[in-house]
């Protein structure tokens, strides 16, 4: 397949096989990677202050509500076992008072 395609290209191109292969210079940087712009220190400080206020507000909101413990699945008893509880434990048998040694 490749030989058919290359022979067709060679026959169509007027200058021969030497002009079919092109090489470009190596680029020093990757495409799409941009340099980060330097931000004004006042803008950075303002953003940090906003972040602190947002976190403080969230902490105050969390402090108002009581802590709700999460249920542990390992400690839960399945409903099937609860239904089978009378079958699993033997009923206490009554022993007559005179039969004990």
Is 85 part of a structural domain of the chain?
no
Host domain of residue 56: 38-63
Q: Which two tokens stand for residue 33?
A: 């990677």
Q: Which secondary-structure segment (H or E) carries 49? A: helix 41-64
Q: What total of structural domains would you count in the chain? A: 1
Query: Which regions of the chain are under pLDDT 70?
Result: 1-30, 98-101
DSSP character string of 56-95: HHHHHHHHHSPPPPPPPTTTPPPHHHHHTHHHHSPPPPPP
Chain segment 73-91, per-residue pLDDT in tens: 888 888 898 898 888 887 7
Claim: this prediction has a pTM higher than 0.85: no
Is 95 part of a structural domain of the chain?
no
């Amino acid at each position: 397949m490749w030989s058919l395609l290359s022979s067709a290209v060679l026959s169509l191109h007027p200058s021969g096989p030497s002009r079919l292969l092109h090489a470009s210079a190596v680029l020093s940087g990757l495409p799409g990677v941009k340099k980060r712009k330097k931000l004004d220190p006042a803008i950075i400080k303002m953003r940090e202050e906003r972040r602190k206020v947002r976190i403080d507000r969230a902490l105050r909101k969390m402090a108002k509500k009581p802590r709700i413990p999460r249920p542990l699945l390992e400690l839960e008893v399945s409903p099937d076992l609860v239904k089978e509880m009378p079958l699993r434990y033997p009923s206490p048998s009554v022993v007559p008072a005179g039969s004990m040694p």
